[in-house]
């Protein structure tokens, strides 16, 4: 039996595919390649190109393959874009989940591990953020994912589809062998942008806002390595296969780093000057987001291997240095 990785050609999905294969799982990938890359997918995985909103496409997969669980990454995930194009997010993210859950119900696939996000919490009332804290998103991206969490809960109570929602904080880094990594077009995320400045592909980093309510005035985020994140998904599958109840877990390192601190760490890792300037705030950014991730550690037995942002940045740097044009598959 196989695991279906929806969005397996994307940044996190492709690392998940690698991790599942390393753990002896059979893997089927579904991806419409709207933001993912064919070259990011390990050739040992079976690849279906199509959109999860397309019921006929999903039926074809569930008829052809013996799927025991779905790991769902197929979603748009850029906070500022969701502010200007909210309906795109509700259509692809929230709408895609409806079709996927309907197909799972009809084909009696009982388990789903889902990429949720820290953005479902909105502006947290205290730090670190616990899973039981109020979820009040302040951007359409976060709301689209919160709606997906709610849909899974109702699909569980009505059809018995069990889920684990993994609420990621800021994911960074790349496979330690440098074979796959982060390549978005256009790039909006802090770490890959800093890497591109270090490579000389961009002139400078713009730090969006230095008047936030944080120690140095710049936003504080909690960075987690992409392979540690993939490991948490493996543990979540194991948790569901063992017959446990649906659940939600934060995935972070429990340590916050400001944008200025990230820049400094990247300068140390790369040995490059990395010019930076201050720029206005970006809409939709909360001051700080730091996870309490002891629940994932205690219940799932998750032990992140990367507990230092320098090590996380070092793997990102290895990918960017060895792939200066990314996957080089865009026209
Ligand atoms: N930033 C800059 N300059 C840039 C890019 C980013 O200063 O050129 C800042 C942002 O303003 C923010 C921080 O770097 O303060 C991190 O921004 P990212 O765009 O890298 O990440 P986000 O925190 O916006 O979002 C990420 C994921 C979301 C997820 C969120 C949860 O992309 O999917 O983390 O924390 F919801």
pLDDT 10s digits, 19-50: 999 999 999 999 999 999 999 999 999 999 99
The whole-angstrom separation of Cα 319 and Cα 111 is 33
The whole-angstrom separation of Cα 26 and Cα 127 is 39
Among 93, 119, 182, 187, name the best residue to mutate to test ligand 1's pocket (greatest count of ligand atoms within 8 A of Cβ).
Answer: 119
Packing angle, helices 96-106 and 140-159, rounded to 10: 20
Going from the Cα of 228 to the center of ligand 1, the distance in angstroms, rounded, reads 19
Closest C-alpha residue for ligand 1 atom 16: 190
Q: Pick the catalytic residue: 141, 168, 223, 239?
A: 141
Q: What pLDDT was estimated at residue 330?
A: 59
Going from the Cα of 319 to the center of ligand 1, the distance in angstroms, rounded, reads 20
pTM: 0.95
| Regions of the chain with pLDDT less than 50 | 331
Q: What pLDDT was estimated at residue 331?
A: 37
Does the annotation count 223 as an active-site position? no
**8-state DSSP, 297:** I
Average pLDDT, the chain: 96
Do the bridges between strand 26-31 and strand 46-49 make them parallel or antiparallel, or are there none, so unpaired? parallel
Is the shortest distance between the CB of 282 and ligand 1 below 6 Å? yes
Do the bridges between strand 220-221 and strand 288-289 make them parallel or antiparallel, or are there none, so unpaired? parallel
Q: What pLDDT was estimated at residue 283?
A: 82
The whole-angstrom separation of Cα 172 and Cα 161 is 30
Q: What pLDDT was estimated at residue 80?
A: 87
Burial 78-104 (b: 16+ CB within 10 A, else e): bbebbbeeeeebbebbbbbbbbbbebb
Is the shortest distance between the CB of 212 and ligand 1 below 6 Å? no
CA angle 67, 69, 71 (to 5 degrees): 120
Is the shortest distance between the CB of 219 and ligand 1 below 6 Å? yes
The whole-angstrom separation of Cα 219 and Cα 285 is 8
What are the pLDDT digits (tens) for 130-157?
Answer: 999 999 999 999 999 999 999 999 999 9
Considering the segment(s) 188-219+252-320 as one domain, its CATH architecture is Alpha-Beta Complex (3.90)
Going from the Cα of 55 to the center of ligand 1, the distance in angstroms, rounded, reads 33
| Fold of the domain built from segment(s) 1-170+222-249 | Rossmann fold (3.40.50)
User: Does this chain's domain 1-170+222-249 share its CATH topology with 188-219+252-320?
Assistant: no
Going from the Cα of 245 to the center of ligand 1, the distance in angstroms, rounded, reads 32
Instruction: Write down the domain spans for the chain.
Output: 1-170+222-249, 188-219+252-320
- What Rg do the C-alpha atoms of the chain give, in angstroms? 19
* Cβ count near 114 (within 10 Å): 25
Q: Which of 9, 36, 314 is nearest to 184 (CA)?
A: 36
Is the shortest distance between the CB of 313 and ligand 1 below 6 Å? no
For the CA of 193, the closest atom of ligand 1 is 8
Contact 233, 296 (CB under 8 A): no
């Amino acid at each position: 039996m196989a695991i279906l990785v929806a969005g397996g050609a994307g940044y996190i999905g492709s690392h998940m595919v690698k991790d599942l294969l390393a753990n002896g799982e059979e893997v089927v990938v579904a991806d419409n390649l709207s933001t993912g890359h064919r070259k990011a997918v390990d050739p040992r995985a079976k690849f279906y190109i199509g959109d999860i909103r397309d019921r006929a496409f999903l039926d074809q997969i569930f008829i052809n393959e013996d799927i025991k669980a779905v790991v769902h990454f197929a979603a748009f995930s850029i906070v500022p874009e969701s502010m200007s194009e909210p309906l795109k997010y509700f259509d692809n993210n929230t709408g895609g989940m409806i079709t996927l859950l309907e197909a799972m119900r009809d084909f009696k696939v009982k388990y789903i591990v889902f990429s949720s996000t820290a953005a479902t919490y909105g502006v947290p009332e205290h730090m670190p953020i616990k899973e039981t804290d109020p979820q009040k998103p302040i951007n359409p991206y976060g709301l689209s994912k919160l709606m997906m969490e709610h849909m899974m809960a109702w699909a569980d109570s009505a059809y018995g589809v069990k889920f684990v929602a993994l609420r990621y904080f800021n994911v960074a880094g790349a496979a330690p062998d440098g074979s796959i990594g982060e390549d978005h077009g256009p790039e909006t995320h802090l770490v890959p942008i800093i890497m591109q400045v270090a490579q000389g592909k961009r002139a400078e980093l713009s730090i969006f806002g230095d008047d936030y309510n944080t120690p140095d005035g710049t936003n504080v985020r909690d960075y987690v390595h992409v392979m540690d994140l993939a490991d948490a998904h493996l543990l979540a599958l194991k948790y569901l296969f063992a017959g446990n109840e649906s659940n939600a877990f934060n995935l972070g390192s429990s340590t916050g780093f400001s944008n200025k601190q990230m820049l400094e760490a990247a300068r140390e890792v790369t040995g490059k000057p990395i010019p930076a300037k201050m720029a206005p705030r970006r809409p939709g950014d909360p001051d700080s987001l730091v996870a309490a991730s002891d629940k994932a550690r205690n219940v799932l037995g998750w032990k992140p291997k990367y507990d230092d942002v320098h090590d996380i940045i070092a793997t990102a740097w290895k990918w960017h240095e060895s792939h200066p044009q990314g996957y080089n598959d865009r026209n």
